[in-house]
Amino acid sequence: MNEPSGATEMAHAEPKYSRVHRAAEIVSIFIFVVYAVANLWRLFATAIPTGPSAWFVLGGGAFLGYVLADFISGTVHWLADRYGSRDLFLLGPNFIGPFRDHHVRPKEITQHDFVETNGNNCMISFWVLMVVYHGVPLAVGDLTSLFLAGALVFSMMAIMATNQFHKWAHSDSAPRLVRLLQRWHAILPADHHDVHHKAPFETYFCITTGWLNWPLRKLRFYESVEWLVYRLTGIRAGEDDAINAGLAPARASEAESGVVTLPSTGAAERAS
Ligand SMILES: [Zn+2]
Ligand SMILES: [Zn+2]
């Protein structure tokens, strides 16, 4: 993975965010683990007496969940990269900013420890696990519920792992087993993710496995949604591309002069 600033992979740095946020991340990871184990226990406890068909159905649900996680990761990433700005209330500094900073300093993610890497994803996904555990009834022989609950539980577990997979895709020293999983394309491979890390950062958004990147690009899926959003609301995707392309420092002088120069992007050309 190229690092434009020339920075190298370093040992875990001190987190650069508030203690309150870190405490919330630690609590979220704990709740996530508790509900993940509880859900898996419930799924297996339902599947065992149901018989072999249940394991087949549960396997199908798990696979669907894994694919679904890739789509969710791509869609969340696409939203953060293509809409809004880092000045946006609440979402800007906590959601949009980190995604765009990652384009400027892609190796920085490798300095994040376990909590910083996985806390934010747990903060969102544990809610789904909680709802599945308390809200989706499972009964022996009910294969439909088993499939749905399995898909949701495994998709959230894959969402939880997504930032770890993403971090490994940027790492120069990932464990050998991880390298093997990347080579098999079971998790996001580094060279595959490199496609996203080229300005204007408008393709290959999926970062769990990357399986959906090629079909979504062929279908022009996100381009079509951006076109639809523009037709319906007048909001253009990638308007904040100056930041996307790592030109954030130029913004102050641009604001003073009233002239904003966007890099040449496919989005700008489409929108024009
Ligand atoms: Zn991105
Ligand atoms: Zn990346």
Give the pLDDT score at 51.
85
**Mean local confidence (pLDDT), 229-243:** 81
Q: Which residue has the higher pLDDT, 224 or 16?
A: 224
The whole-number pLDDT of residue 86 equals 81
Q: Which domain holds residue 29?
A: 19-220
In a domain, 14, yes or no: no
Judge whether 171 and 110 are in contact, CB under 8 Å.
Answer: yes
Average pLDDT over every residue of 58-86:
94
Within-domain flag for 29: yes
**Is there a domain that residue 8 lies in?**
no
| 197 Cα–ligand 1 center, Å | 7
How many structural domains is the chain composed of? 1
Q: Is the pLDDT of residue 5 over 50?
A: no
- Closest-approaching ligand to the CA atom of 110: 2
CA of 44 to the centre of ligand 2 (A): 35
Residue 250 lies in a domain: no
CA of 42 relative to ligand 1 center, distance in Å: 36
**Residues present in the chain in total:** 272
123 belongs to a structural domain: yes
CA gap 81, 48 in Å, rounded: 44
Burial status of residue 125 (CB atoms within 10 A of its CB: 0-12, 13-18, 19 or more): buried
Considering the domain boundaries, does residue 229 fall inside one? no
The pLDDT score that the predictor gives to residue 218 is 97
**Residue 31 falls inside a structural domain:** yes
Cα 193 to ligand 1 centre (Å): 10
- Considering only residues 183 and 253, tell me which one the structure prediction assigns the higher pLDDT: 183
Q: What angle do CA 211, 229, 100 make, to 5 degrees?
A: 60
Any domain includes 227: no
**Opening angle at CA 21, ends 16 and 25, nearest 5:** 105
Q: How many CA atoms lie within 13 A of 54 on its CB side?
A: 18
Q: pLDDT at position 96, please?
A: 87
Nearest to 4 by CA among 101, 100, 97, 105: 105
Per-residue model confidence (pLDDT) at position 225: 97
Distance 243 CA to ligand 2 centre (A): 16
- Write out pLDDT tens, residues 15-37: 666 788 899 999 999 999 999 99
Q: 99 CA distance to ligand 2 centroid (A)?
A: 9
* Distance in Å, CA 199 to ligand 1 centroid: 9
Please write the tens of the pLDDT for every residue from 56-71.
999 999 999 999 999 9
